[in-house]
Amino acid sequence: MKLQGILFLLIYAAIMITATMIFTKRAKTGESFHVADRSMGPVVSAMSIAATWIWAPALFTSAEKAYSNGLAGLFWFLVPNVVCLLVFIPFAKKIRKEMPQGITLSGYMYERYHSKAAKNAYLFELSMLSILSTAVQLLAGGKIMSMTTGLSFPFVTVALAAIAYAYSQFSGIRASVLTDVLQMLFMLAACILFVPWALKLNGGWSAVKLSGITGEYGSLFGQKGLEVFLGFGLPTAIGLISGPFGDQCFWQRAFCIKESKITKAFVLGALFFAVVPLSMGILGFIAAGTGFIPKDAGTVNLELIQAILPAWVLVPFMYMLISGLMSTVDSDLCAAASLTTDITKDNGTGIPKAAMLLILGIGIAIANIPGITVTKMFLIYGTLRATTLLPTILTLTGKKLTGNGVAAGVITAMSVGLPIFAYGTVKNLSGYKTAGSLLSVLLAGFVAILVSRRKEAAA
Protein backbone atom coordinates (compact mmCIF):
# COMPACT_ATOMS: atom_id res chain seq x y z
CA MET A 1 0.00 0.00 0.00
CA LYS A 2 2.87 2.39 0.72
CA LEU A 3 4.24 1.95 -2.80
CA GLN A 4 0.76 2.59 -4.20
CA GLY A 5 0.52 5.74 -2.09
CA ILE A 6 3.82 7.06 -3.42
CA LEU A 7 2.72 6.25 -6.98
CA PHE A 8 -0.56 8.08 -6.35
CA LEU A 9 1.31 11.21 -5.25
CA LEU A 10 3.76 11.02 -8.18
CA ILE A 11 0.95 10.75 -10.74
CA TYR A 12 -0.94 13.63 -9.15
CA ALA A 13 2.19 15.76 -9.12
CA ALA A 14 2.98 14.89 -12.74
CA ILE A 15 -0.51 15.90 -13.91
CA MET A 16 -0.49 19.26 -12.15
CA ILE A 17 3.11 20.21 -12.93
CA THR A 18 2.90 19.12 -16.58
CA ALA A 19 -0.37 20.98 -17.15
CA THR A 20 1.09 24.12 -15.56
CA MET A 21 4.20 24.03 -17.74
CA ILE A 22 2.23 23.37 -20.94
CA PHE A 23 -0.65 25.79 -20.51
CA THR A 24 0.98 28.67 -18.63
CA LYS A 25 4.20 30.63 -19.03
CA ARG A 26 6.71 31.19 -16.26
CA ALA A 27 5.85 34.47 -14.56
CA LYS A 28 8.68 36.99 -14.68
CA THR A 29 6.99 40.02 -13.12
CA GLY A 30 4.99 40.60 -9.97
CA GLU A 31 1.97 41.79 -11.98
CA SER A 32 1.81 38.50 -13.83
CA PHE A 33 2.65 36.35 -10.79
CA HIS A 34 0.07 37.96 -8.48
CA VAL A 35 -2.87 39.06 -10.66
CA ALA A 36 -2.43 37.34 -14.08
CA ASP A 37 -2.41 40.76 -15.76
CA ARG A 38 -6.06 41.15 -14.66
CA SER A 39 -7.33 39.11 -17.61
CA MET A 40 -9.05 36.03 -16.17
CA GLY A 41 -12.37 34.99 -17.75
CA PRO A 42 -15.57 34.23 -15.80
CA VAL A 43 -15.85 30.43 -16.18
CA VAL A 44 -12.26 29.52 -15.27
CA SER A 45 -12.45 32.12 -12.50
CA ALA A 46 -15.67 30.55 -11.21
CA MET A 47 -14.09 27.12 -11.10
CA SER A 48 -11.06 28.57 -9.34
CA ILE A 49 -13.25 30.37 -6.79
CA ALA A 50 -15.20 27.17 -6.13
CA ALA A 51 -12.09 24.99 -5.88
CA THR A 52 -10.39 27.47 -3.56
CA TRP A 53 -13.46 27.51 -1.32
CA ILE A 54 -13.56 23.69 -1.27
CA TRP A 55 -11.16 23.15 1.58
CA ALA A 56 -10.89 20.39 4.15
CA PRO A 57 -14.14 21.30 5.98
CA ALA A 58 -16.16 21.31 2.73
CA LEU A 59 -14.99 17.78 2.06
CA PHE A 60 -15.10 16.31 5.56
CA THR A 61 -17.01 18.56 7.96
CA SER A 62 -20.06 18.53 5.66
CA ALA A 63 -20.22 14.73 5.81
CA GLU A 64 -19.38 14.61 9.53
CA LYS A 65 -22.09 17.12 10.47
CA ALA A 66 -24.70 15.39 8.27
CA TYR A 67 -23.82 12.06 9.90
CA SER A 68 -23.66 13.33 13.48
CA ASN A 69 -26.13 16.25 13.48
CA GLY A 70 -28.38 15.46 10.54
CA LEU A 71 -30.18 18.14 8.56
CA ALA A 72 -29.36 20.85 11.10
CA GLY A 73 -25.64 20.15 10.91
CA LEU A 74 -25.44 20.14 7.11
CA PHE A 75 -27.74 23.17 6.74
CA TRP A 76 -25.64 25.38 8.99
CA PHE A 77 -22.53 24.38 7.11
CA LEU A 78 -23.75 24.44 3.51
CA VAL A 79 -25.99 27.52 3.35
CA PRO A 80 -23.55 30.08 4.84
CA ASN A 81 -20.81 28.61 2.63
CA VAL A 82 -22.82 29.47 -0.50
CA VAL A 83 -24.31 32.76 0.71
CA CYS A 84 -20.93 34.23 1.64
CA LEU A 85 -19.70 34.09 -1.97
CA LEU A 86 -22.81 35.95 -3.16
CA VAL A 87 -22.62 38.57 -0.40
CA PHE A 88 -19.00 39.22 -1.35
CA ILE A 89 -19.82 40.28 -4.94
CA PRO A 90 -20.65 44.00 -4.47
CA PHE A 91 -17.58 44.47 -2.28
CA ALA A 92 -15.33 42.75 -4.82
CA LYS A 93 -16.67 45.09 -7.50
CA LYS A 94 -16.25 48.12 -5.24
CA ILE A 95 -12.61 47.45 -4.36
CA ARG A 96 -11.78 46.84 -8.02
CA LYS A 97 -13.40 50.13 -8.99
CA GLU A 98 -11.69 52.12 -6.24
CA MET A 99 -8.27 50.48 -6.68
CA PRO A 100 -8.07 49.15 -10.26
CA GLN A 101 -4.34 48.40 -10.01
CA GLY A 102 -4.57 46.81 -6.55
CA ILE A 103 -3.30 43.43 -5.46
CA THR A 104 -4.14 43.01 -1.75
CA LEU A 105 -6.80 43.99 0.76
CA SER A 106 -4.10 45.27 3.14
CA GLY A 107 -2.75 47.43 0.33
CA TYR A 108 -6.21 48.86 -0.20
CA MET A 109 -6.54 49.69 3.49
CA TYR A 110 -3.21 51.52 3.38
CA GLU A 111 -4.21 53.48 0.30
CA ARG A 112 -7.52 54.39 1.91
CA TYR A 113 -6.15 55.50 5.30
CA HIS A 114 -2.41 56.04 4.68
CA SER A 115 -1.92 54.21 7.95
CA LYS A 116 0.80 51.62 8.56
CA ALA A 117 -1.09 50.50 11.67
CA ALA A 118 -4.17 49.57 9.63
CA LYS A 119 -2.08 47.92 6.93
CA ASN A 120 -0.08 45.90 9.45
CA ALA A 121 -3.18 44.75 11.35
CA TYR A 122 -4.62 43.43 8.09
CA LEU A 123 -1.29 41.96 7.01
CA PHE A 124 -1.13 40.01 10.25
CA GLU A 125 -4.68 38.66 9.93
CA LEU A 126 -4.31 37.76 6.24
CA SER A 127 -0.91 36.12 6.80
CA MET A 128 -2.09 34.12 9.80
CA LEU A 129 -5.10 32.93 7.83
CA SER A 130 -2.86 31.73 4.98
CA ILE A 131 -0.71 29.83 7.47
CA LEU A 132 -3.61 28.21 9.35
CA SER A 133 -5.53 27.40 6.18
CA THR A 134 -2.46 25.76 4.67
CA ALA A 135 -1.93 23.79 7.88
CA VAL A 136 -5.48 22.44 7.99
CA GLN A 137 -5.35 21.28 4.36
CA LEU A 138 -2.04 19.49 4.99
CA LEU A 139 -3.49 18.03 8.19
CA ALA A 140 -6.51 16.61 6.37
CA GLY A 141 -4.49 15.42 3.39
CA GLY A 142 -1.89 13.77 5.59
CA LYS A 143 -4.61 12.12 7.63
CA ILE A 144 -6.46 10.52 4.74
CA MET A 145 -3.33 9.49 2.81
CA SER A 146 -1.76 7.99 5.91
CA MET A 147 -4.98 6.16 6.79
CA THR A 148 -5.49 4.67 3.32
CA THR A 149 -1.90 3.93 2.23
CA GLY A 150 0.09 3.45 5.43
CA LEU A 151 2.51 6.24 4.50
CA SER A 152 3.74 8.19 7.50
CA PHE A 153 1.73 11.30 8.28
CA PRO A 154 4.73 13.70 8.41
CA PHE A 155 5.99 12.38 5.06
CA VAL A 156 2.64 12.99 3.37
CA THR A 157 2.36 16.57 4.70
CA VAL A 158 5.81 17.37 3.31
CA ALA A 159 5.06 15.65 -0.01
CA LEU A 160 1.79 17.54 -0.51
CA ALA A 161 3.51 20.81 0.34
CA ALA A 162 6.28 20.10 -2.16
CA ILE A 163 3.77 19.33 -4.94
CA ALA A 164 1.83 22.54 -4.34
CA TYR A 165 5.00 24.61 -4.35
CA ALA A 166 6.36 22.92 -7.49
CA TYR A 167 3.56 24.15 -9.72
CA SER A 168 2.60 27.34 -7.86
CA GLN A 169 6.07 28.87 -8.08
CA PHE A 170 6.12 28.44 -11.87
CA SER A 171 3.49 31.00 -12.85
CA GLY A 172 1.86 32.08 -9.61
CA ILE A 173 -1.85 32.79 -9.76
CA ARG A 174 -2.13 31.46 -13.32
CA ALA A 175 -0.83 28.09 -12.12
CA SER A 176 -3.27 28.19 -9.22
CA VAL A 177 -6.24 28.95 -11.46
CA LEU A 178 -5.32 26.34 -14.08
CA THR A 179 -4.84 23.58 -11.51
CA ASP A 180 -8.01 24.73 -9.72
CA VAL A 181 -9.94 24.03 -12.93
CA LEU A 182 -8.46 20.54 -13.21
CA GLN A 183 -9.07 19.89 -9.52
CA MET A 184 -12.66 21.11 -9.78
CA LEU A 185 -13.29 18.77 -12.71
CA PHE A 186 -11.96 15.86 -10.61
CA MET A 187 -14.32 16.80 -7.78
CA LEU A 188 -17.44 17.29 -9.90
CA ALA A 189 -16.86 14.02 -11.76
CA ALA A 190 -16.42 12.09 -8.51
CA CYS A 191 -19.58 13.57 -6.97
CA ILE A 192 -21.66 12.85 -10.06
CA LEU A 193 -20.43 9.25 -10.19
CA PHE A 194 -20.10 8.06 -6.61
CA VAL A 195 -23.04 9.59 -4.76
CA PRO A 196 -25.75 8.13 -7.06
CA TRP A 197 -23.86 4.81 -6.98
CA ALA A 198 -23.83 4.78 -3.18
CA LEU A 199 -27.55 5.58 -3.15
CA LYS A 200 -28.32 2.79 -5.59
CA LEU A 201 -26.39 0.19 -3.58
CA ASN A 202 -28.32 1.10 -0.43
CA GLY A 203 -31.84 1.11 -1.85
CA GLY A 204 -32.09 4.70 -3.09
CA TRP A 205 -33.25 7.72 -1.13
CA SER A 206 -34.83 5.51 1.52
CA ALA A 207 -31.28 5.00 2.85
CA VAL A 208 -30.91 8.71 3.55
CA LYS A 209 -31.48 9.60 7.21
CA LEU A 210 -31.85 13.36 7.66
CA SER A 211 -31.95 13.13 11.46
CA GLY A 212 -28.36 11.90 11.81
CA ILE A 213 -27.05 8.68 13.29
CA THR A 214 -28.87 9.21 16.61
CA GLY A 215 -32.15 10.21 14.96
CA GLU A 216 -32.40 13.41 17.04
CA TYR A 217 -31.51 16.11 14.51
CA GLY A 218 -34.18 16.10 11.84
CA SER A 219 -35.48 19.60 12.63
CA LEU A 220 -33.73 22.96 12.34
CA PHE A 221 -35.95 24.48 15.02
CA GLY A 222 -36.32 21.71 17.60
CA GLN A 223 -34.31 21.59 20.83
CA LYS A 224 -31.49 19.59 19.26
CA GLY A 225 -31.53 21.80 16.18
CA LEU A 226 -31.16 24.85 18.43
CA GLU A 227 -28.21 23.21 20.19
CA VAL A 228 -26.53 22.68 16.82
CA PHE A 229 -27.22 26.29 15.88
CA LEU A 230 -25.67 27.70 19.07
CA GLY A 231 -22.71 25.34 19.28
CA PHE A 232 -21.91 25.05 15.58
CA GLY A 233 -24.29 26.98 13.33
CA LEU A 234 -23.83 30.52 14.66
CA PRO A 235 -20.03 30.51 14.93
CA THR A 236 -19.83 28.69 11.60
CA ALA A 237 -22.14 31.17 9.88
CA ILE A 238 -20.18 34.12 11.28
CA GLY A 239 -16.89 32.57 10.22
CA LEU A 240 -18.14 31.63 6.76
CA ILE A 241 -19.91 34.89 5.97
CA SER A 242 -16.71 36.61 7.07
CA GLY A 243 -14.67 34.14 5.06
CA PRO A 244 -14.03 35.90 1.76
CA PHE A 245 -13.76 39.28 3.52
CA GLY A 246 -10.85 38.13 5.65
CA ASP A 247 -9.17 35.96 3.03
CA GLN A 248 -6.66 37.38 0.55
CA CYS A 249 -7.38 34.47 -1.83
CA PHE A 250 -10.71 36.06 -2.80
CA TRP A 251 -9.54 39.68 -2.93
CA GLN A 252 -6.70 38.48 -5.15
CA ARG A 253 -9.20 36.90 -7.53
CA ALA A 254 -11.28 40.08 -7.52
CA PHE A 255 -8.20 41.87 -8.84
CA CYS A 256 -7.46 39.10 -11.39
CA ILE A 257 -10.87 38.74 -13.07
CA LYS A 258 -11.89 40.98 -15.94
CA GLU A 259 -13.72 43.78 -14.15
CA SER A 260 -16.99 43.35 -16.06
CA LYS A 261 -17.12 39.60 -15.25
CA ILE A 262 -16.78 39.67 -11.46
CA THR A 263 -20.49 39.07 -10.73
CA LYS A 264 -20.80 36.19 -13.18
CA ALA A 265 -17.63 34.54 -11.86
CA PHE A 266 -18.71 34.58 -8.20
CA VAL A 267 -22.31 33.46 -8.91
CA LEU A 268 -21.09 30.51 -10.96
CA GLY A 269 -18.43 29.82 -8.35
CA ALA A 270 -21.07 29.56 -5.61
CA LEU A 271 -23.07 27.07 -7.70
CA PHE A 272 -20.04 24.93 -8.57
CA PHE A 273 -19.02 24.93 -4.94
CA ALA A 274 -22.42 23.85 -3.60
CA VAL A 275 -22.30 20.54 -5.49
CA VAL A 276 -19.37 19.19 -3.47
CA PRO A 277 -20.35 19.71 0.22
CA LEU A 278 -23.95 18.78 -0.63
CA SER A 279 -22.72 15.52 -2.18
CA MET A 280 -20.47 14.80 0.80
CA GLY A 281 -23.40 15.57 3.11
CA ILE A 282 -25.55 13.01 1.29
CA LEU A 283 -22.86 10.41 1.94
CA GLY A 284 -23.10 11.34 5.63
CA PHE A 285 -26.88 10.87 5.53
CA ILE A 286 -26.43 7.47 3.86
CA ALA A 287 -23.98 6.41 6.56
CA ALA A 288 -26.51 7.44 9.22
CA GLY A 289 -29.38 5.71 7.44
CA THR A 290 -27.54 2.42 7.09
CA GLY A 291 -26.21 2.48 10.64
CA PHE A 292 -22.61 2.63 9.43
CA ILE A 293 -20.14 3.18 12.29
CA PRO A 294 -16.88 4.80 11.15
CA LYS A 295 -13.60 4.59 13.00
CA ASP A 296 -13.50 8.40 12.85
CA ALA A 297 -16.66 10.44 12.23
CA GLY A 298 -14.44 13.12 10.70
CA THR A 299 -13.73 10.85 7.72
CA VAL A 300 -17.11 9.08 7.53
CA ASN A 301 -17.52 9.76 3.79
CA LEU A 302 -14.16 8.22 2.94
CA GLU A 303 -14.76 5.19 5.19
CA LEU A 304 -18.24 4.64 3.73
CA ILE A 305 -16.91 4.69 0.17
CA GLN A 306 -14.23 2.18 1.18
CA ALA A 307 -16.84 -0.09 2.76
CA ILE A 308 -19.55 -0.20 0.09
CA LEU A 309 -17.91 0.43 -3.28
CA PRO A 310 -15.29 -1.63 -5.18
CA ALA A 311 -11.69 -1.16 -4.09
CA TRP A 312 -10.68 0.64 -7.30
CA VAL A 313 -13.13 3.47 -6.51
CA LEU A 314 -10.85 4.62 -3.72
CA VAL A 315 -8.31 5.92 -6.23
CA PRO A 316 -10.54 8.48 -8.04
CA PHE A 317 -12.26 9.33 -4.76
CA MET A 318 -8.87 10.07 -3.21
CA TYR A 319 -7.98 12.24 -6.21
CA MET A 320 -11.16 14.19 -5.54
CA LEU A 321 -10.29 14.66 -1.87
CA ILE A 322 -6.67 15.62 -2.51
CA SER A 323 -7.76 17.98 -5.30
CA GLY A 324 -10.06 19.82 -2.92
CA LEU A 325 -7.28 20.23 -0.38
CA MET A 326 -4.51 21.16 -2.80
CA SER A 327 -6.63 23.76 -4.57
CA THR A 328 -6.77 25.68 -1.31
CA VAL A 329 -3.09 25.15 -0.52
CA ASP A 330 -1.93 26.62 -3.82
CA SER A 331 -4.37 29.53 -3.44
CA ASP A 332 -3.03 30.19 0.06
CA LEU A 333 0.51 30.20 -1.30
CA CYS A 334 -0.38 32.72 -4.01
CA ALA A 335 -2.23 34.86 -1.46
CA ALA A 336 0.76 34.86 0.89
CA ALA A 337 3.07 35.69 -2.01
CA SER A 338 0.90 38.65 -2.99
CA LEU A 339 1.08 40.06 0.54
CA THR A 340 4.80 40.63 0.06
CA THR A 341 3.90 43.54 -2.23
CA ASP A 342 2.86 45.44 0.92
CA ILE A 343 6.29 44.90 2.44
CA THR A 344 8.60 45.41 -0.54
CA LYS A 345 8.19 47.25 -3.82
CA ASP A 346 10.29 44.68 -5.68
CA ASN A 347 8.43 43.62 -8.85
CA GLY A 348 10.21 40.31 -9.18
CA THR A 349 9.17 36.81 -8.09
CA GLY A 350 12.05 35.82 -5.78
CA ILE A 351 10.63 37.26 -2.55
CA PRO A 352 7.09 35.95 -3.22
CA LYS A 353 8.47 32.45 -3.80
CA ALA A 354 10.42 32.65 -0.54
CA ALA A 355 7.18 33.63 1.22
CA MET A 356 5.52 30.53 -0.22
CA LEU A 357 8.23 28.32 1.28
CA LEU A 358 7.93 30.05 4.64
CA ILE A 359 4.16 29.54 4.75
CA LEU A 360 4.57 25.87 3.85
CA GLY A 361 7.21 25.31 6.53
CA ILE A 362 5.05 26.78 9.27
CA GLY A 363 1.97 24.98 7.95
CA ILE A 364 3.74 21.61 8.05
CA ALA A 365 4.85 22.25 11.63
CA ILE A 366 1.32 23.14 12.77
CA ALA A 367 -0.26 20.17 10.96
CA ASN A 368 2.07 17.84 12.85
CA ILE A 369 1.08 19.09 16.32
CA PRO A 370 -0.34 16.06 18.20
CA GLY A 371 -4.08 16.08 18.91
CA ILE A 372 -5.01 18.88 16.52
CA THR A 373 -8.23 18.34 14.50
CA VAL A 374 -9.61 19.70 11.23
CA THR A 375 -12.94 20.87 12.66
CA LYS A 376 -11.42 22.74 15.60
CA MET A 377 -8.86 24.48 13.39
CA PHE A 378 -11.58 25.39 10.90
CA LEU A 379 -13.70 27.03 13.59
CA ILE A 380 -10.75 28.92 15.09
CA TYR A 381 -9.40 30.40 11.88
CA GLY A 382 -12.94 31.07 10.70
CA THR A 383 -13.28 33.30 13.73
CA LEU A 384 -9.93 34.94 12.93
CA ARG A 385 -11.36 36.03 9.58
CA ALA A 386 -14.32 37.59 11.36
CA THR A 387 -12.06 40.15 13.05
CA THR A 388 -11.74 42.16 9.82
CA LEU A 389 -15.32 41.81 8.58
CA LEU A 390 -16.93 45.02 9.86
CA PRO A 391 -13.92 47.34 9.38
CA THR A 392 -13.67 46.13 5.78
CA ILE A 393 -17.39 46.54 5.08
CA LEU A 394 -17.50 49.95 6.77
CA THR A 395 -14.52 51.11 4.72
CA LEU A 396 -15.87 49.88 1.39
CA THR A 397 -19.29 51.41 2.06
CA GLY A 398 -17.72 54.81 2.68
CA LYS A 399 -18.10 55.15 6.45
CA LYS A 400 -15.73 57.66 8.04
CA LEU A 401 -13.06 55.80 9.97
CA THR A 402 -9.40 56.43 10.73
CA GLY A 403 -6.48 54.10 10.20
CA ASN A 404 -5.80 53.96 13.94
CA GLY A 405 -9.45 53.19 14.58
CA VAL A 406 -9.42 50.31 12.11
CA ALA A 407 -6.20 48.90 13.58
CA ALA A 408 -7.57 49.21 17.13
CA GLY A 409 -10.78 47.43 16.16
CA VAL A 410 -9.03 44.47 14.52
CA ILE A 411 -6.46 44.11 17.33
CA THR A 412 -9.14 44.29 20.04
CA ALA A 413 -11.26 41.65 18.32
CA MET A 414 -8.25 39.35 18.00
CA SER A 415 -7.20 39.92 21.60
CA VAL A 416 -10.64 39.42 23.17
CA GLY A 417 -13.01 37.51 20.90
CA LEU A 418 -10.57 34.99 19.44
CA PRO A 419 -9.18 33.64 22.77
CA ILE A 420 -12.71 33.26 24.17
CA PHE A 421 -13.79 31.35 21.09
CA ALA A 422 -10.65 29.19 21.11
CA TYR A 423 -11.26 28.28 24.76
CA GLY A 424 -14.86 27.35 24.01
CA THR A 425 -13.77 25.23 21.04
CA VAL A 426 -11.11 23.34 22.98
CA LYS A 427 -13.46 22.75 25.95
CA ASN A 428 -16.53 22.27 23.69
CA LEU A 429 -18.52 24.99 25.51
CA SER A 430 -21.25 26.40 23.27
CA GLY A 431 -21.69 29.60 25.27
CA TYR A 432 -18.04 30.55 24.98
CA LYS A 433 -17.98 29.74 21.26
CA THR A 434 -21.05 31.88 20.62
CA ALA A 435 -19.71 34.77 22.72
CA GLY A 436 -16.28 34.57 21.11
CA SER A 437 -17.75 34.60 17.59
CA LEU A 438 -19.98 37.59 18.26
CA LEU A 439 -17.24 39.53 20.04
CA SER A 440 -14.80 38.88 17.18
CA VAL A 441 -17.21 40.51 14.74
CA LEU A 442 -18.81 43.24 16.85
CA LEU A 443 -15.80 44.47 18.81
CA ALA A 444 -13.86 45.14 15.61
CA GLY A 445 -16.57 47.41 14.25
CA PHE A 446 -17.49 49.04 17.57
CA VAL A 447 -13.91 49.87 18.56
CA ALA A 448 -13.05 51.08 15.05
CA ILE A 449 -15.96 53.53 15.11
CA LEU A 450 -15.33 54.61 18.72
CA VAL A 451 -11.61 55.29 18.26
CA SER A 452 -12.20 57.01 14.92
CA ARG A 453 -14.78 59.38 16.44
CA ARG A 454 -12.48 60.22 19.34
CA LYS A 455 -9.71 61.09 16.90
CA GLU A 456 -12.12 63.30 14.97
CA ALA A 457 -13.29 65.03 18.14
CA ALA A 458 -9.71 65.61 19.26
CA ALA A 459 -8.87 67.10 15.88
Mean pLDDT of all residues in the chain? 91
Domain that holds residue 415: 387-459
Co-location of 272 and 392 in the same domain: no
- Same structural domain for residues 323 and 202? yes
pLDDT of residue 455: 64
Taking Cα atoms as reference points, which of 336, 338, 250 lies closest to residue 51? 250
Nearest to 36 by CA among 184, 172, 190: 172
DSSP 30-82: HHHHHHGGG-B-HHHHHHHHHHHH--HIIIIIHHHHHHHHHHHHHHHHHHHHH
258 vs 458: which has the higher pLDDT: 258
Does 426 lie in the same domain as 330? no
Considering 322, 351, 374, which residue would you say is the last residue of a domain?
Answer: 374
Per 3-state DSSP, the chain is made up of helix, strand and coil in percentages (nearest 5) of: 85, 0, 15
Question: Do 58 and 130 lie in a common domain?
Answer: yes
Over residues 429-449, the mean pLDDT reads 89
What is the per-residue burial (b if ≥16 Cβ within 10 Å, else e) of 87-119?
bbbebbbebbeebeebbbbbbbbbebbebebbb
Residue 85: is its pLDDT beyond 80?
yes
Domain boundary among 352, 374, 396: 374
Evaluate whether 69 touches 265 at the Cβ level (below 8 Å). no
Q: What percent of the chain has pLDDT over 90?
A: 69
Q: Specify whether 210 is located in the same domain as 98.
A: yes
Top-ranked range on mean pLDDT: pick from 229-238, 425-434, 436-445: 436-445
Q: What pLDDT score does 326 carry? A: 93
pLDDT over threshold 60, residue 323: yes
Counted domains in the chain:
2
pTM, entire model: 0.90
Query: What is the rounded average pLDDT of the residues 386-412?
Result: 95
Question: How large is the average pLDDT for residues 161-168?
Answer: 97
Tens digits of per-residue pLDDT, 174-224? Answer: 999 999 999 999 999 999 999 999 999 998 998 999 998 988 887 888 888
Q: Residue 459 pLDDT more than 70?
A: no
Asked whether residue 88 is assigned to any structural domain, the reply reads yes
pLDDT value at residue 457: 61
- Contact residues for 220 (Cβ-Cβ < 8 A; gap 6+): 71, 72, 75, 229
* Residue 254, in any domain of the structure: yes
Percent of the chain with pLDDT over 70: 98
Question: Of 39-48, 302-311, 427-436, where does mean pLDDT reach its minimum?
Answer: 427-436
